[in-house]
């Protein structure tokens, strides 16, 4: 899980390049060429970093910076709304594939893939965050309910899977899939 400092650095860099990213053909925009561990820019990545930062109650100086960054992001989102939604639609497709592939791998070999759930569930979280980025609901998210049904069939409710300080950003009723784990063997 990235630290608050890493999330803030990602937001800074991402928002600085957001217009260029939206107007490009790239889905995964490299922020710092050659830097190890720096995530590529996507709308879902920005939204996830933003949500984590808001939950972690940053210092007052960081809150001021976050508010300024969020204002810039909102301005770009408004100015380039069509490009924003096109890029978000492409990302929904990509994240659905990642999530579908993980669930498929899990069902094929739960003992080898259940442990990866806390990392892999970020794709499902991003899909939830991206779903709110469209003026009109996108049909691309229709398959999410069938993937949720697969998940629920193998689900064991329990503890929050990420750092406990993030629970305020991801309440259980909406983000139920962050409160538990997958079974180590699949029901047949």
Residue-wise pLDDT for 53-105, tens only, equals 999 877 888 889 999 999 999 999 999 999 999 999 999 999 999 999 999 99
The answer to whether residue 145 scores a pLDDT higher than 60 is yes
Question: Cβ–Cβ contacts within 10 Å for residue 125, how many?
Answer: 22
Cβ-contact 126, 45 below 8 angstroms: yes
pLDDT of the residue at 62: 83
The pLDDT of residue 134 is above 60: yes
- Residue 42's φ and ψ, nearest 5 degrees, are -145, 165
Of the candidates 175, 148, 150, the residue with the CA atom closest to the CA atom of residue 160: 175
Q: CB of 132 within 8 A of CB of 164?
A: no
- Which tokens sit at 56? 């972690």
Angstrom distance (rounded) from CA 6 to CA 12: 10
Domains in the chain: boundaries: 1-188
pTM as predicted? 0.92
High-pLDDT (> 70) share of the chain, %? 95
Rounded to whole angstroms, the Cα distance separating 63 from 40 reads 24
């Amino acid at each position: 899980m990235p630290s608050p400092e890493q999330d803030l650095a990602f937001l800074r860099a991402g928002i600085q390049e957001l217009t260029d990213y939206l107007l490009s053909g790239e889905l995964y925009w490299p922020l710092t060429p050659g830097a190890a561990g720096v995530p590529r820019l996507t709308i879902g990545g920005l939204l996830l970093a933003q949500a984590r930062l808001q939950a972690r109650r940053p210092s007052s100086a960081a809150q001021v910076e976050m508010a300024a960054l969020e204002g810039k992001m909102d301005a770009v989102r408004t100015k380039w709304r069509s490009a924003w939604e096109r890029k978000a639609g492409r990302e929904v497709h990509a994240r659905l594939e990642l999530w579908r592939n993980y669930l498929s791998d899990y069902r094929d070999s739960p003992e080898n893939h259940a442990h990866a759930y806390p990392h892999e569930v970020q794709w499902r979280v991003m899909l939830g965050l991206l779903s709110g980025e469209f003026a009109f609901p996108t049909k691309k998210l229709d398959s999410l309910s069938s993937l949720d049904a697969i998940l629920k069939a193998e689900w064991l409710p329990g503890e929050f899977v990420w750092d406990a300080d993030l629970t305020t950003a991801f309440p259980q009723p909406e983000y139920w899939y962050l409160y538990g784990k997958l079974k180590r063997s699949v029901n047949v």
